[in-house]
Chains A and B, each alone.
Chain A
Amino acid sequence: MMLFLHGALTMACLVSGVFFFKFWKASEDRFFLLFALAFWFFALNWFGLAVGHPSDENRHFFYLARLPTFLLIAWAIIDKNRRGGG
């Protein structure tokens, strides 16, 4: 069951990343590129959980892998607010 859920999450994050990548291509707004990368890192995280079978000792390592995801999202928000105009 968990393997299925992690697989589904991996695919959902990959697909979301593809949409945001397309938005970046269309709008040339790097906000969307950062979101695309964030979701792809998130996909990597779920994939790692699916194939890695974390134990109690090393599960922090697996979950810390989501740090790049949320750092990229934070960067996208900060960057959007630093830049003026449309």
Chain B
Amino acid sequence: MIVSVVSLESSFDFAALRTFIASHIEDYEQLETLLFVRRHRQSVSAAVVASELKLEAHEASQALHALAACNLLAVDDSSAGKTFRYAPRGAELSRGAELLALAYGEHRIKLVQLMNSNALDRARMIALRKFAEGFRLGSPKKNG
């Protein structure tokens, strides 16, 4: 049993996961929100996320908008209001999100350690990404 756990850990790409978290996941609210929207398969509103994850409405909204800003979620505007769906843009983001989901299920302690370590560096990385993303000429992805 112990040998099989070790071999699972040794084959998992923690380096890629660390890079993904450092650039795209600012806090635990965003982590839980991303995984929730990914599981949900349909568009969700901030109210649904807040209710399911026991967050304040503004926290859920902030997390959803932040994830949409880094191209992990797509925003759908309708008469009923804004909804968000899982739509990572590009193979790299897709892989990062899938690694995150896998780690959440099978390597949660390691995931928590990655989230806690270098929190300041992560905040800086996200600031850099926002800076560079500002030079995209189009608007953030709306309806995918």
Contact A23 B90 (CB under 8 A): no
Number of A interface residues, CB 8 Å? Answer: 13
Cα-based distance from A80 to B128 in the complex (angstroms): 13
B88: which A residues are within 8 A, CB to CB? 85
A50–B123 CA distance with the chains assembled, in angstroms: 39
Chain A contact residues: helix, strand, loop or mixed: helix
Q: Is the CB of A77 within 8 A of B92?
A: no
A70 and B27 CA atoms in complex are apart in Å by 37
Q: Given A32-B132, A77-B135, do A86 and B125 touch, yes or no (CB 8 Å)?
A: no
**Once the chains are docked, how many angstroms separate the CA of A4 from the CA of B51?**
61
B90 touches A26 (CB 8 A): no
Taking the closest CB of chain A, its distance from the CB of B18, in whole angstroms, is 13
- C-alpha gap A80/B134 in the complex (Å): 10
- Whether the Cβ atoms of B136 and A81 lie closer than 8 Å is yes
Which residue of chain B has its CB nearest to the CB of A30? B132
The digit string for B117-128, where 1 denotes a CB below 8 A from any CB of A, is 000010011001
Given A85-B92, A85-B93, verify A27-B136 contact (CB < 8 Å): no
Alpha-carbon distance A85/B24, docked complex (angstroms): 11
- CB-defined contacts of B128 to chain A, threshold 8 Å: 23, 26-27, 29, 32
Query: Pick the contact of B23 from A23, A31, A84, A86 — CB < 8 Å?
Result: A86
Name the one of A23, A27, A31, A84 contacting B135, with C-beta atoms under 8 angstroms: A31
CB pair A80 B132 closer than 8 Å: yes
Q: Mark A43-86, 1 if CB is under 8 A from B, else 0.
A: 00000000000000000000000000000000011001100111
User: What are 30 A-B interface contacts by the 8 Å CB criterion?
Assistant: A23-B128, A23-B131, A26-B124, A26-B125, A26-B128, A27-B125, A27-B128, A27-B129, A27-B132, A29-B129, A29-B132, A31-B132, A31-B135, A32-B128, A32-B132, A77-B135, A77-B137, A81-B135, A81-B136, A81-B137, A81-B138, A85-B71, A85-B90, A85-B91, A85-B92, A85-B93, A86-B70, A86-B90, A86-B92, A86-B96
For the complex with contacts A23-B131, A86-B23, A86-B92, 11 further pairs of A-B residues with Cβ separation under 8 Å are A27-B132, A29-B132, A31-B135, A76-B135, A81-B138, A85-B71, A85-B88, A85-B89, A86-B70, A86-B71, A86-B90
